[in-house]
Structure 1
Amino acid sequence: MNFQQLFTFLEDLQRNNSKEWMDENRKRYHAVRDWYINWLEELDAQLVKIDDDYVSIEGRKAINRINNNLMFHPDKPVYKDHFGAGLDLNENGKQGDFYIHLGTEESFIAGGFYKPKKELLDSIRDAIDYNGEEFQKIIDTKSFRNTFELVDDGDSLKTAPKGFSKDHEHIDLLRLKTFAVQHVLTQKQVMQEDFMQHCIRVYKEMIPFRAYLNKAVTV
C-alpha cells in the first residue's frame, strides 16, 4: 500500500460517491485507511522525539471520519473527498492542532486555531495586545513565510475588537478570527519517498507559531 493507492481510492470514491459503492468496496477502504493510520503512527513517533511538548495520539483517534455530516449539511456528498488527520491534540482542546489533509482536490498541512471559540480567541487577542511584536516576528521570519500562508477564513473584523483601539499597532492581527497557517502540497510531493521527512520539516517550522498560540490560550 502507498499514497498512490490512497489517492486512487479517493478518486474512485468521488466518481461513485454512494453508500452502495462504498459497501461493495468496504475491504478496499479499510485496507487504505489502516495503512494510512499506521503511517500516521510512524509520523507521531517521530514528532515525539523532536518536540518535548508534543502530545502523542493514536492514529485511529487522529484520523477523521470519511462520512460527511448530512444532518447539518444535507447537500453534501455522502463521503468526503479527502482523508484528514489531526495530530498533537490534548483533551481540553486548548492546543492548536497539526493537521494533514490529503484529497482529490487539494492537499495541505495546517496548524493553529481555526475559528476558535470566544474564550480562546479572547486569550489570543490578549496575548497579541501584550506582546504582539513576538508573534509578528515569528510570522515575518523568511523561512516561515516561504513555508506557509495564513489561512483566510474571510471573517475578519472590519473594525477593532471590543476593548481595543482601531489605532492599535497590531490591529491587523487583532481583527483576525482564525489564527492558522497552511502549507500546500501537491500529490507528487505526497507520493515522494521522503514525504514523512517533509512533514517533519514543516512541523519544525511551525513550532514557534503554535507554541505562541498554545501559551496564549493556557496562561
Structure 2
Amino acid sequence: MNFAQLYDFLEELQQNNSKEWMDAHRKRYHQIRDDYIKWLDMINQRLLQIDSDYYDTPGKKAINRINNNLLYHPNKPIYKDHFGAGLDQRSKQGDFYIHLGVSESFVAGGYWKPGTKILTSIREAIDYNGEEFLEIINKKSFKNTFGNLIETEDKLTNAPKGFSQDHRFIDLLRHKTFAVEHRLNKKEVIDQGFDEKVIALYKEMLPFRRYLNQAVTV
C-alpha cells in the first residue's frame, strides 16, 4: 500500500472539497480505496492468526464511507479528510480503529461514548474488579503507548447514579468514554515498518479491549 499517495489524495481533496472535483478524480479515488481495502484484508488476516477471539472483518466491511453525513451535519464538508476503518468489528463491541487523515492519524480502540446499557455494564465491571482494569491501563508499556484514557467533555464531575462519591474507583467511574489512542505522524505511516507497528499496537491494546468486551457481554 502506497500511503504517500493516500495522503496526497486526501490533501488535494480537502483543497477541492466538491462533488465536481471528486467526479473528475473518481478513478484515482477508487484505486487508492481498493489498495487500502487490500491492505486492511492483509492486516485482518494477520490479526486472525494472533487473536483466537478476533472477529473476521474483511476490508470492505471495515472501511468507512468517505462522505460526511450531511443530513445530521449540514455544515460539514461533503467529504471527510481521512480514511477510517474498524477491524475486529463484532456487533455491539468496541472495534480496533485505524484513522489516517490530513489533520490527524491515529490507532484507537475501546468504547467511544457508548449507550447507557453498555456504559452501565462497564461501570459494573469496574465496581466488581477495578483492580484488574487499573493493572492493565497502568502497565508501563501500555502507558508509554497510549497514555491515559481519552478525556471527553462529558466526563462526570460527580459520581454516576448508583455509586458513592468516595468509591475507590470513582475517577474511572466518572468516564463516559472508555477508549485509548496512539497518535501517528505521516512519516510513521509511510514508513515500511507501519504494518508491524499496527500489529504491535493491536497486541498492546488487546488486554484493555478484552476486559471491556467481557464487561459488555457477560
Name the TM tier (shorter chain).
over 0.9
* Paired positions, count: 217
SS state of the match for residue 123, structure 1?
A: helix
Amino acid at match of 1:97: D
Distance 1:36 1:133 in 2: 39
| Residue 147 (str. 1) matches residue 145 (str. 2) | yes
Residue 3 of structure 1 deviates from its aligned partner by 0.2
Residue of structure 2 in register with 1:161 after alignment: 160
Gaps of 5+ in 2: none
Deviations 1:46-71 (A, max 9, x none): 00111101101110110000000011
Amino acid at match of 2:146: F
SS state of the match for residue 38, structure 2?
A: helix
- Any runs of at least 4 consecutive aligned residues in structure 1 with deviations exceeding 2 A, and if so which? none
SS state of the match for residue 29, structure 1?
A: helix
**Superposition pairs of residues 1-219 of structure 1, within 5 angstroms:** 2-90=2-90, 92-93=91-92, 95-149=93-147, 150-219=149-218
Residue 202 of structure 1 deviates from its aligned partner by 0.3
**What is the CA RMSD across the aligned residues, in angstroms?**
0.7
Distance 2:153 2:88 in 1: 26
Moved more, 113-122 or 143-152: 143-152
TM-score normalised by structure 1 residue count: 0.98
